[in-house]
Amino acid sequence: MQIAPPRACDIIVACRVFFYISKDLNEPHLDLQNNREVEHEADEMSFAAADVHGVAVRADIIANFFT
């Protein structure tokens, strides 16, 4: 998929908005690697672990779609 950088930014922001809406609605997350739903846990990942995971996901998206 090749799109202009400003459009890519719009798409990324929209995905982030939808993600946080799904969290607010307590929608289950999809574990795409294991093809299953993951329920929210009372004790969610620490912010540091979530940030590391987010960095890895963003790097994977960039490597697969923008390079």
Q: What is the pLDDT along the chain (67 residues), one digit of tens a residue?
A: 688 888 999 999 999 988 888 888 887 776 666 666 555 554 455 556 667 777 888 888 888 887 6
pLDDT for the residue numbered 19: 85
pLDDT for the residue numbered 43: 44
DSSP H helices in the chain: 5-24, 47-65
pLDDT for the residue numbered 54: 78
Beta strand segments in 1-63, E = 29-31, 36-38
